[in-house]
Amino acid sequence: MDPMIRLSDRLEKIYSLIEPGERVADIGTDHALLPIALYARGRTRALILSDTRPGPLEKTRAGLDRLLPGAVFDIRLGDGLAPYACGEVDVAVMAGMGGRLIADILSADAEKARSLGRYILQPRNAADKLRLRLAELGFVVFDESLAAEGRFICEILCAAPAARFAGASRPAPARPAALRRAEGILAAGGLSEEISPLLFRKSEPLLAAWLERKLKTAETVSEHLAAAGAGKEALLEKSRARAASFRALLDTLRA
């Protein structure tokens, strides 16, 4: 197989967050494109692939046999973290799931969840709910990124048990004044869980495009609510406030 197997920008970003030689769990592996790339490019061969249903695992095995004939993989059937022992992997990947499902998987066995090294999480939705649950479970989200895939811009969170970050310092922000302004806007608008300040700290390249999409959605919702007339005033006020926050964040980026 060609070791330069092409991944989507989303999976390529996740790939880049895995260090050479790390023990990796791909939870909800499905087509197994990420593990195939990790193996074929020599990034790591310490891979465990799991899924909750036999059907997706059969698809996984078929893809592995076709693309990496003769390669041996540890493939496990089970729900969430159930197929894994405490401390068995350095990094666990959960990508393409709903944020609430990822949160439920971590909550189902919080002790085991905290025993694994760190997590790379790419929720399809409800990232704000996932951030809240991570904090409740004693995790720190120490890095966030955005990646384009088709017409979507995906959020990627890196999290680890808070105990691992005791006394650790973060890199200095690229634009300290802009970060302070952004943090103030996020807090005032009640958006701190929806939009991570980490994206401003690192000057994430896709941040402006992502905020523009959020602004457009808020403006469209406001137009519909305004057209609906009486009874929608509170919702309209809230939607317009969201739009104003997004404009202010965009102004901060462009300043």
Last residue of a domain, one of 112, 143, 165: 165
Question: pLDDT, tens digit, for every residue of 204-252?
Answer: 999 999 999 999 999 999 999 999 988 899 999 999 999 999 999 999 9
Beta bridge partners of 97: 123
Instruction: Decide if 107 is inside a domain.
Output: yes
Last residue of a domain, one of 116, 131, 165: 165
Instruction: Decide if 3 is inside a domain.
Output: no
Question: The domain spanning residue 115 has which CATH number?
Answer: 3.40.50.150
pLDDT of residue 164: 81
Q: Are residues 131 and 183 in the same domain?
A: no
Terminal-to-terminal C-alpha distance of the chain: 47
Question: Is residue 166 within 8 Å of residue 189, measured between CB atoms?
Answer: no
Q: Are residues 45 and 159 in the same domain?
A: yes
Closest CA relative to residue 26, chosen from 112, 117, 92, 76: 92
Q: Which amino acid is at 47?
A: L
Q: Are residues 99 and 132 in the same domain?
A: yes
pTM score, two decimals?
Answer: 0.94
Q: Are residues 101 and 133 in the same domain?
A: yes
Cα–Cα distance measured from residue 115 to residue 228, given in angstroms and rounded to the nearest whole number: 51
Residue 186 pLDDT level (bands cut at 50, 70, 90): very high
Last residue of a domain, one of 138, 165, 192: 165
Question: Is residue 38 within 8 Å of residue 58, measured between CB atoms?
Answer: no
- Residues for the chain: how many in total? 255
Q: Are residues 50 and 141 in the same domain?
A: yes
Q: Are residues 130 and 228 in the same domain?
A: no
Q: How many distinct structural domains can be found in the chain?
A: 2
Q: Are residues 161 and 195 in the same domain?
A: no
Q: What angle do CA 33, 36, 38 make, to 5 degrees?
A: 110
Instruction: Decide if 158 is inside a domain.
Output: yes
Instruction: Decide if 91 is inside a domain.
Output: yes
φ and ψ of 29, to 5 deg: -70, -35
Residue 166 pLDDT level (bands cut at 50, 70, 90): low
Which structural domain range is residue 143 located in?
9-165
Q: Are residues 158 and 117 in the same domain?
A: yes
Q: Are residues 42 and 82 in the same domain?
A: yes
Cα–Cα distance measured from residue 104 to residue 212, given in angstroms and rounded to the nearest whole number: 31
Mean pLDDT of 55-60: 90
Instruction: Decide if 4 is inside a domain.
Output: no
Q: Are residues 147 and 247 in the same domain?
A: no
Residue 24 is inside which H or E element, if any? strand 24-27
Question: pLDDT, tens digit, for every residue of 121-142?
Answer: 999 999 999 999 999 999 999 9
Closest CA relative to residue 102, chosen from 113, 91, 117: 113
DSSP letters, 125-183, are S-HHHHHHHHHHTTEEEEEEEEEEETTEEEEEEEEEEGGGGTT--PPPPSSHHHHHHHH
Q: Are residues 15 and 134 in the same domain?
A: yes
